Amino acid sequence: MKKLLTTLVIASIALPVATFAQGTLKIGTVDMNRAFKEYNKTKDAEAKINEAKNAAKKEYDERAEAYKKALDEINKLNQQLEAPALSADAKTGKAKERDDKITGIKNMEREINEFRQTRERQLQEQALRMREGIVKEITDVVMERVRANNLDLVFDKSGMSLNGVPLLMYSRDTVEFTNDVVTALNKNAPAAPAAAAAAPAAPAASPAATPAKTTKP
């Protein structure tokens, strides 16, 4: 995610040399990381990914439990084969049953490993598709603001150089429009349910408490 968001966002608008010479270059900044986190579709995508992860974990746990049960059965058969009172015919039958279960559990090991690798790849691809789609939507909104403000360059404020230094350390008269981008992205977001609608009203004499803001990493 950070790799996609820490890249420099440059609006490819005509930049004649005369613009630099005249000192009329108009620069804008946007915090792509903040826009990504505060976009309502990002939270929806994270919820879908977590749901898929939980489903995969549940299926993996079921397979692992079946594997453990099969392993216990093999261990029991090994204990029975060590019994001195066991007849030769019975020992032969139990040895064959054990060998068949060993073959089966080896197949289970292979299937579990293949399942894990496949699910991990599918989850990574699903997350990447969702991320790319969201980044494209954010970029489209950024470009709309670029055209509306007639900007020449736009830098990502959350972007860092290889040395960990902000890509844009300073710019005079910079247009910062992250709030506009976030507002535009979430204008069609479903309304959040009213919290504590049935909560008793505070006494008139006591001042209203200001709710603490929560931030999501």
Domain assignment of residue 209, yes or no: no
CA quadruple 91, 97, 103, 107: dihedral sign: negative
pLDDT digits (tens, 9 = 90+) for 80-100: 888 888 888 888 998 999 999
Domain assignment of residue 177, yes or no: yes
- The total of structural domains in the chain comes to 1
Structure tokens at 39: 């976009």
Domain assignment of residue 81, yes or no: yes
Domain assignment of residue 98, yes or no: yes
pLDDT digits (tens, 9 = 90+) for 25-64: 888 999 999 999 999 999 999 999 999 999 999 999 999 9
- Whole-prediction pTM value? 0.65
The predicted structure's pLDDT at residue 176? 87
Domain assignment of residue 215, yes or no: no
Provide the residue range defining the domain that includes 18.
2-185
Domain assignment of residue 195, yes or no: no
Using the structure block, give the residue that is written with the tokens 């040895």. Answer: 95
Q: CA separation (Å) from 67 to 25, 49, 71, 132, 193? A: 66, 27, 6, 38, 44
